Amino acid sequence: MKNLIFQLLPLISYIGFTHGELYKPKNSIPCSTNKPCPAEWPCCSPYNECGAGPVCVGGCNVRSSFDEESCAPIPALVPTLKLEFASTPKIPKFIANYQPRPPIKEEHSPNKANAKVGVIEGELNSKRIIHYAKFLVTPDSKEAEKMLEDFDFTHSGYTSIEASSGNIVLAMPKKTTGSLVASTRSFLYGKASVRMKTARSRGVVTAFDLISAIGDEIDFEWLGGDPTMTQLNYYSQGMLDYTRMQRYPVGADTWSTYHNYEIDWDSERIIWYVDGRMARTVLKKDTWDPINKEYRYPQTPMRLEVAVWPGGSETNGPGTINWAGGLIDWENSPDIIKKGQFAAHVEQVTVTPYQNKFTEQVQYCLKAKKKAPTVSEKDLSKVIVSYKKQDKAIHYGEGSLLWDCYVTPRIKDWLSSGKQSK
How far apart CA 27 and CA 199 sit, in angstroms, is 32
Reduced to 3 states (helix: H, G, I; strand: E, B; else coil), residue 319 is: helix
Known active-site residue 360 = no
How far apart CA 198 and CA 342 sit, in angstroms, is 9
57 contacts 409 by C-beta, under 8 angstroms: yes
How far apart CA 42 and CA 55 sit, in angstroms, is 9
How far apart CA 53 and CA 417 sit, in angstroms, is 6
199 contacts 343 by C-beta, under 8 angstroms: yes
Amino acid at 244: R
Given 217, 262, 305, 347, the catalytic residue? 217
How far apart CA 196 and CA 350 sit, in angstroms, is 12
Given 49, 68, 69, 221, the catalytic residue? 221
Query: Environment class of residue 267 by beta-carbon count within 10 Å: exposed (0-12), middle (13-18) or buried (19+)?
Result: middle
Assign residue 215 a region: left if phi > 0, alpha if psi is -120 to 50, beta otherwise? left
Assign residue 203 a region: left if phi > 0, alpha if psi is -120 to 50, beta otherwise? left
33 contacts 13 by C-beta, under 8 angstroms: no
How far apart CA 392 and CA 213 sit, in angstroms, is 13
How far apart CA 370 and CA 364 sit, in angstroms, is 10
**CA-only gyration radius of the chain, Å:** 20
Give whole-number Cα distances, 51 to 36, 45, 58, 180, 307, in Å. 11, 7, 13, 19, 22
Known active-site residue 221 = yes
How far apart CA 373 and CA 382 sit, in angstroms, is 17
267 contacts 189 by C-beta, under 8 angstroms: yes
CB atoms under 10 Å from CB of 255, counted, come to 21
80 contacts 161 by C-beta, under 8 angstroms: no
How far apart CA 270 and CA 296 sit, in angstroms, is 13
Residues noted as catalytic: 217, 221
